[in-house]
Amino acid sequence: MAGAAIAQDDTMMIEADQEAMMMSMADGQTMVTFPRITTREDGYIVLHAVADGAPVVPDSMGHAMVMAGENTDVMVMIPQALPAGTELVAMLHAETNGNGVYDFGEGMTDVDGPIMVNGAPVTATFVVPEGVKMDPDMDAMESPEVEDPETRSASDDSDDPDYRDEGEDEIELNDTEVDGFLEEGEENGDNESDDDDAATANQ
């Protein structure tokens, strides 16, 4: 992966070395992992698209939080599969309003802006290489299996009455008949009743 480590001083650096960076794709997303990012304040590593040789701001393609000091193996997820040859700029942004959320964007360029050193942002430019591997561990999650309604409603757990845990006994169905109405699961006996049905019948 083509790239370079850009350092304005010893406390600010984005390592984007071709041999050290990692990139993978899965489920229509692109994951970019930076081996080392050094910053003097809490903030974000932000990926910007490139147009006419310059980063496209305030728009961004993805970001991840970084803490003051040295950060290793920082992964940024881009919610799209990028074709080979796509040029990107990694840029350090500061966390300026203390909410722990990356807010820099259209109409909000006064917060979480780029960290400036000697009048320039701290950046590293790289290109998506050919043959980016697919990550099998990042495949789309399958929908969980849902048990049939009768099994789910047969729980005697008052904390979770809709689901019966493994090994939990099913609740016993009522075996009563009220005013000619046979409840679901009851047997149609001639002399079957219980206290609740008797009380209902006498009202």
Residue with tokens 């040859």: 85
Cβ–Cβ < 8 Å for 4, 124 = yes
Question: Residue 203 and residue 196: Cα distance in Å, rounded?
Answer: 11
Q: Give residue 91's pLDDT.
A: 95
Alpha helices in 20-173 (DSSP H): 149-152
Name the DSSP letter for residue 82: P
Cβ–Cβ < 8 Å for 76, 62 = yes
Residue with tokens 């496209």: 56
Please give the model's pTM, rounded to 2 decimal places: 0.63
Structural element, H or E, at residue 159: none
pLDDT tens profile 83-107: 989 999 999 999 999 999 999 999 9
Within 10 Å of residue 149's Cβ, how many Cβ atoms?
9
Please state the length of the chain: 203
Q: Is the pLDDT of residue 8 over 60?
A: no
Cβ–Cβ < 8 Å for 112, 96 = yes
Q: What is the dihedral of CA 156, 158, 164, 166, to 10 degrees?
A: -90
Structural element, H or E, at residue 168: none
Cβ–Cβ < 8 Å for 174, 183 = yes
- Return the structure tokens found at 55: 């980063």
Residue with tokens 């599969």: 81
pLDDT tens profile 20-72: 788 898 889 999 999 999 999 999 999 999 999 899 999 999 999 999 999 99
| CA 5 from centre of chain | 28
Q: Give residue 1's pLDDT.
A: 46
pLDDT tens profile 126-178: 999 887 766 555 444 343 444 444 444 455 556 555 555 666 665 555 554 54
Question: Residue 88 and residue 48: Cα distance in Å, rounded?
Answer: 6
Cis peptide before 58 (omega within 30 of 0): yes
Question: Residue 85 and residue 130: Cα distance in Å, rounded?
Answer: 7
Closest by CA position to 41, among listed 155, 122, 161: 122
pLDDT (mean) for 72-86:
94
